[in-house]
Amino acid sequence: MYLRNDDRPQGSRLSLRIAVLGGVAVALFGILFFRLWNLQVLSGDKYLAEAKNNRTRSFKVIAPRGEILGRDGKVLVDSRSALALQLNTTKLPEDPAEERAELARIGTLVHLNLHQLRRKIAKEEEVAAGAPVTLRQDVNFDLVAYVEENQPDFPGVAVQRVFVRHYPHGTLAAHVLGSVGEISEEELEEAGNKGREAGETIGKGGVEATYDKYLRGQSGETKIQVNALGEPTPGGQLVEVPPTPGENLKLTIDPAVQEAGESALASQGLPGAFITMDIQNGQILGLGSSPTFEPSALTPPMTQTEVNELIRNETTAPLTDRATEGLYPTGSTFKLITALAALEKGVITPNSVIDDPGQLCLGEECFKNAEGAAYGALTLVPALEVSDDVFFYTLGLDMWKTGDLQQWAHQLGIGRPTGIDIPVNTNGLLPTRQWRDQLFKEGNTERPWSAGDNIQLATGQGDLQTNPLQMAVAYAALGNGGTIVTPHVGMEVEDAAGRVLKEFDPGARRHLTINPGTRSVILEGLHDAAQGPSGTSHVVFDSFPIPVAGKTGTAERPGHADQSWYAVLAPYPDPRIVTVVTVEEGGFGAESAAPAARQILEAVFRHKLEAAAESEGEGETETESPTG
């Protein structure tokens, strides 16, 4: 006889269930035991350290940037203490609706919408979770008073002292100095910013960017103890490492020359640029562009959108440095390069005579002198003095198949990097046969290279796109006998006590072989052009007490009135300084650019001119005193 399942004794089934439950309980207890053993024994040190870390908060203390000085030690940029609004995110409401409302109120303080504010908070917390988020720097006292009077409406918002850039001379040398701003996401990815963090301030242009590693200093750190709510405990400061201020940067810029150049441009009321440089070592004494900008305006709270509006303003373009990034034809200032190429390549000699009937015709196209002049038979020196276009048209025609003109222009630095130690976004254009023929092949122009292109280039016209900086380098090479200098504004790095830590001397970029006779005859022609009786800038420089060698330029620029240029080497015949000025729509070179150049040279040679004036005054006194 067999028993069915439900005929088994009830006690037997109960025992089985208890055994199963007991086994499960033992297994769970074993798992729990081994987990606790793992946490306390195997990983105990790790979690103990994490627990301790949860009781501390570390905050970076940003270092003040170093000062930027002129060559005379005059402070051009320093840092000042300012007030900033910061947000402690741990004090925001937990309820999503309340948090949203509070963030919206906070956003009205710092001109950010809710999305922008949340993004800013998220970016900074990725780097330093729990650290205060800087909402806005350099706030005014009215806003501080408003926040303090309405503190219940803004829990977590506090006012802290920070360092911001201070420009005691306003716009002076703005394009040289550049500006600072918060590092962007794109900049964080750049190799040169390895180790930088979101929210940090970096140089955004000029020497602030180039020499950022010297100026930015070393951040400090404050570590405090907090309770379970993340709030500081009484006497909870554990560690304080003070920041190390950045080192000071001394520039080659002479503030007196810089002021004179900017004043000369401003008096014209037109866009333009200037540069004054030592032709032996490339030190820049002054470099400016008009219109200019206020560097402090580019720091927070100005938004990137507002900065972009300045950049996009094609009419004024105040952020564009016309001295280093202008794209212009140069007019007759280019004739120095044409003369140098023709002499060095044997196209002419100093005594070669070219007849000027008033125009040079190729087929049906004729290239004429300005204002219909005809100068007859001329050699190079008088051709430079009167700026005879036909003379140089002829040289351009003679060199159109050889490429000699482009070769020398390229060697002198036209259309190529100069090596200047401030950011430059374009190198311009030196038109060549290869360039235009390639455009024609691609269908981007209606014709290949022709003789007319070279004729235009010989007088600084046509497709040429260059700037005062490149022209200054070319003129400097003639003045110093063939050295292509590296223009630079950085002179040395100093500590707070004025001790020199590092000097900057980039040296020459290359050397050209220029026959001394070639140099001498071109300088003579430029001297006569500036101070000879028939010179194109005689009216401006005839009374200037220091001999100079200069050249006017009147450039035709499509869509604009004639552009005024002047390039000058001084003193003649052994120059030390080159100055190049251009004024957009300024007319003839002698009308606006040459007077501006004279004003700059007066600042360069101010001590010599003052001494000469004093000596002359003493001589007059001695002569007149016997007769009463």
Each residue of 134-151: pLDDT tens digit? Answer: 777 777 777 878 877 787
Taking the C-alpha atoms of 110, 111, 117 and 119 in order, what is their torsion angle to the nearest 10 degrees? -120
Spatial separation of the C-alpha atoms in residues 475 and 485, rounded to whole Å = 11
pLDDT at 301 over 70: no
- Of the segments 13-22, 121-130, 470-479, which one has the largest average pLDDT value? 470-479
* Domain 57-183+199-251 fold: Penicillin-binding protein 2a (Domain 2) (3.90.1310)
Region of poorest pLDDT, from 357-366, 467-476, 617-626: 617-626
CATH 3.40.710.10 maps onto the chain at 255-610
CB 392 within 8 A of CB 338: yes
- The pair of structure tokens assigned to 604 is 């360069």
127 phi, psi to nearest 5 deg = -85, -45
CA-based angle 273:279:280, to the nearest 5?
A: 150
Give me the mean pLDDT over the 403-423 stretch.
97
Spatial separation of the C-alpha atoms in residues 405 and 400, rounded to whole Å = 8
Spatial separation of the C-alpha atoms in residues 164 and 138, rounded to whole Å = 7
Spatial separation of the C-alpha atoms in residues 242 and 230, rounded to whole Å = 23
Which pLDDT score is estimated for 178? 94
If we measure between CA atoms, which residue out of 85, 75, 51 comes closest to residue 249? 75
CB 92 within 8 A of CB 156: yes
Is the backbone peptide bond immediately before 234 cis, with ω within 30 degrees of 0?
A: no
pLDDT at 49 over 70: no
**Residue 398 gets which letter from DSSP?**
H
Spatial separation of the C-alpha atoms in residues 202 and 216, rounded to whole Å = 7
| Helix/strand/coil (H/E/C) assignment for every residue in 307-347 | HHHHHHCCCCCCCCCHHHHCCECCHHHHHHHHHHHHHHCCC
- The pair of structure tokens assigned to 166 is 């201070």
Q: 25 pLDDT band (50/70/90 cuts)?
A: confident
**Residue 283 gets which letter from DSSP?**
B
If we measure between CA atoms, which residue out of 544, 538, 592 comes closest to residue 570? 544
* Domain 255-610 fold: Beta-lactamase (3.40.710)
Tell me the torsion sign for CA atoms 159, 161, 164, 167.
Answer: positive
Give the chain's end-to-end CA distance (angstroms, integer). Answer: 163
- The pair of structure tokens assigned to 331 is 């007019």
Residue located via tokens 């204002």: 371
Q: 254 pLDDT band (50/70/90 cuts)?
A: very high
If we measure between CA atoms, which residue out of 171, 173, 139, 177 comes closest to residue 158? 139
CATH 3.90.1310.10 maps onto the chain at 57-183+199-251
DSSP string, 518-585: HHHHHHHHHHHHHHSTT-TTHHHHTT-SS--EEEEEEE--TTSPPEEEEEEEESSSS--EEEEEEETT
User: Residue 270 contacts by C-beta under 8 Å, 6 or more apart in sequence?
Assistant: 290, 583, 584, 585, 586, 592
Region of poorest pLDDT, from 163-177, 501-515, 544-558, 611-625: 611-625
The number of helices, as runs of H, and strands, as runs of E, in the chain is 23, 23
Tell me the torsion sign for CA atoms 19, 24, 27, 32.
Answer: negative
Give me the mean pLDDT over the 204-211 stretch.
94
CA-based angle 308:309:310, to the nearest 5?
A: 90
Which pLDDT score is estimated for 136? 77
161 phi, psi to nearest 5 deg = -90, 135
Taking the C-alpha atoms of 242, 243, 244 and 245 in order, what is their torsion angle to the nearest 10 degrees? -130
User: Residue 80 contacts by C-beta under 8 Å, 6 or more apart in sequence?
Assistant: 163, 164, 165, 166
**What is the amino acid identity at position 616?**
E
pTM for this prediction: 0.83
Number of neighbours of residue 62 by Cβ within 10 angstroms: 16
CB 504 within 8 A of CB 488: yes
Give me the mean pLDDT over the 185-209 stretch.
80
Which pLDDT score is estimated for 2? 45
CB 343 within 8 A of CB 518: yes
Spatial separation of the C-alpha atoms in residues 345 and 349, rounded to whole Å = 10
Q: Is 547 left (phi over 0), alpha (psi -120 to 50) or beta?
A: beta
Which pLDDT score is estimated for 337? 98
What kind and span of H or E run contains 598? Answer: helix 593-604
DSSP string, 223-242: EEEE-TTSPEEEEEEEEEEP
**What is the amino acid identity at position 389?**
D
Spatial separation of the C-alpha atoms in residues 277 and 414, rounded to whole Å = 17
Kindly report, residue by residue over 450-481, the tens digit of the pLDDT. Answer: 999 999 999 999 999 999 999 999 999 999 99
Measured CA to CA in angstroms, residue 545 lies from 476, 548, 572, 598, 607 at distances of 22, 9, 11, 11, 13
pLDDT at 394 over 90: yes
pLDDT at 13 over 80: no
